[in-house]
Amino acid sequence: MPLSADSKDLPAKEKESKLEALYWLSLIWSFGCVTDAEGRKVMDPFLRKVSSGQTHGLKEEFQLLCDEPPVRMTATARGGWLPLLWLLVLFLLVLLSPPTFPDEGSVFDYFPLGPANKWENWTKKIGNFDIPKDAQVHNIIVPTGDTTRNAFFLQTLVKGQYHTLFSGPTGTGKTVVIQQELLKKFDPECGLKLPRLVEVASPMMTPTYHVPGEVYGRDFDKFGCGKIFLEKGASPMMTPSYHVPGEVYGRDFDKFGLVFVDAPALPQWMDTGGWYERKTSEFRSLVDLNFIGAMGPPGAGRPQVTARYLRHFNYIFVLPYEEGSMVRIFQTVMTWFLNKFPNQVSAIGPSIVTGTIAIYNSISAEMLPTPSKSHYTFNLRDLSKVHQGICLCTRESLFSPDDIVKCWAHECQRVFQDRLINAEDHAWFDQTLKKTMEENFNKQWKLVVKKEPLIFGDFVEGKTPFYQEMQDHDKVKDVLQSYLMDYNQTAKRGMELVLFLSAVQHVCRIASH
């Protein structure tokens, strides 16, 4: 992790202090960044004890595989180079001043800040965050300590031209961070300009045909990204089919651009630096490339990526958001959205956030995936869908606190309950929803919901449509029946649909989202 330009001009004592702080930060995020949540719970006390020099008894406490080596052991002794690595770490621990990590939280939550290198929470880097008035709710990205930290390491690693791979469960913001940093916040001195993200339609494209035609030849047998490629509009290409990193960008001197190579060919480039030309059998090198990837952990149908390939990457495991981060994200969005509503409605915002998170935590803990319910998986995107549904409302549709509570209940049913497959699970969710409403909103279901099932839509009022509760179910059925008749009169093959109440309910949800 290099010193900044400003740090290089510091006095010797301050520079030494800065280097010590950077060493501890690098140690934490070199060994500890590959661990999951349970692993970091072990790494936190281990690193605190090691940094303070309390190395005695570590093997028994943390079930280490080897003892601390005696000083007399060398590289040729039993154990190979491992004892020397231990000696190097212990030697540095003797020389370096112990860091003063705060007692709260984990060592992964802090970074050295300012001339004094005081360890501060990553949220200190966020600064002021204001959502534009004309923003679209699905495009809002609220920064948290986790996203700020991941963005910092992405910037640092890319600037040092290291391959970077983020891994973690779905909905932890891996791809969002990559897109946001590369497209909007990347260091201007790198000259990186990426206009759009696209998906690869076919994962079977041959790199010998695709790559040389898209890059500018720097030499007879070397290819890189030059002006010709940039003028065509460089685009990061996603290759999700093989569960390998997708975003790829390359550098030609001071120019940055993106090159696509097929997923199976990526390990070959990592090992050899290029491919053989089909027609001439000559080797073609693709130079000055850095790979940035995001993937889910193996399992749940995802194949295992080989260690031989992963060894080329700086691997960072992204943990699921903690509840405090989730509250910050959605509280920010709901405060921005409800700011234009009456006070009695906007005051419900915090309860909506805590209530949705409570539903999410309950269904994630109780409705676990099984072979017959393999789709019972829930993540942050489901929380986002609930709030996005509420944000479809307007001042005309939310007159009172009861209106927004009903909308919240409907969106929870739409996002979470629709995924459940039997009456028993539906009954559990209904009970959980009613209990959560009473605990978070201090309202009873039977006093708030006068007409069941809850149906929301935006197509009943023809002149000025807006997203609202539609209590007249017969009218909704008649409107849908008229749309169906119009379709059958113009379509070559009509649809003979029976619009019973449950069908009406689901058609309304599909049509409105």
Structure tokens at 196: 């759009």
Structure tokens at 308: 């031989």
Domain limits of the chain? 5-125, 145-317, 323-512
Residue-by-residue DSSP string for 219-286: SSSEEE--HHHHHTT---EE-GGGTS---EEEEETTEEEE----GGGHHHHHHHSEEE-TTT--EEEE
Structure tokens at 164: 């970077």
Rounded to whole angstroms, the Cα distance separating 460 from 455 reads: 12
Give the per-residue pLDDT at 243.
38
CB 178, CB 247: distance < 8 Å: yes
Give the per-residue pLDDT at 463.
73
Rounded to whole angstroms, the Cα distance separating 368 from 365 reads: 7
Give the per-residue pLDDT at 96.
62
Sign of the alpha-carbon dihedral angle for 330, 335, 336, 337: positive
CB 321, CB 169: distance < 8 Å: no
The pTM (predicted TM-score) of the whole model is 0.77
Give the per-residue pLDDT at 1.
55
pLDDT in tens, the chain (513 residues): 555 555 566 777 778 888 888 888 988 998 889 899 898 998 899 888 877 777 777 777 777 766 554 443 333 444 444 455 555 565 565 556 667 888 888 999 999 987 778 899 999 998 888 888 888 888 888 999 999 999 999 988 888 888 899 999 888 888 888 888 877 666 555 444 443 333 333 333 333 333 434 343 444 444 443 222 223 333 333 333 333 333 333 333 333 334 444 456 778 878 888 878 778 888 878 777 778 888 888 776 677 888 888 889 999 999 999 899 999 999 999 999 999 899 999 999 999 999 999 999 999 999 999 989 989 999 989 999 999 999 999 998 898 999 999 999 999 999 999 999 999 999 999 999 999 999 999 999 999 999 999 999 988 876 778 899 999 999 999 999 999 999 999 988 888 889 999 999 999 999 887
Number of helices (H), then strands (E), belonging to the chain: the values are: 20, 15
Cβ-Cβ contacts under 8 Å for 334 (sequence gap 6 or more)? 349, 350, 352, 353, 387, 390
Q: Is the peptide bond preceding residue 69 cis, with omega within 30 degrees of 0?
A: no
Residue-by-residue DSSP string for 205-216: --HHHHHHHHSE
Q: Quick one: which of 366, 467, 452, 380 has its CA closest to 413? A: 452
CB 156, CB 316: distance < 8 Å: no
Residue 6: count of CB within 10 angstroms of its CB:
8
Distances (CA, A) of 208 to 74, 293, 442, 445: 48, 22, 64, 63
Give the per-residue pLDDT at 355.
97
Structure tokens at 396: 């005309």
- What φ, ψ does residue 390 adopt, rounded to 5°? -65, -35
Structure tokens at 263: 């997923």
The CATH number that domain 323-512 falls under is 1.20.920.30
Rounded to whole angstroms, the Cα distance separating 111 from 123 reads: 10
**Hey, what CATH class is 145-317 in?**
alpha beta
Give the per-residue pLDDT at 92.
60
How far is residue 345 CA from its own chain's centroid?
31
Distances (CA, A) of 319 to 106, 114, 268, 367, 393: 13, 27, 30, 21, 32
Rounded to whole angstroms, the Cα distance separating 289 from 225 reads: 9
Q: Are strands 164-167 and 222-224 parallel, antiparallel or unpaired?
A: unpaired
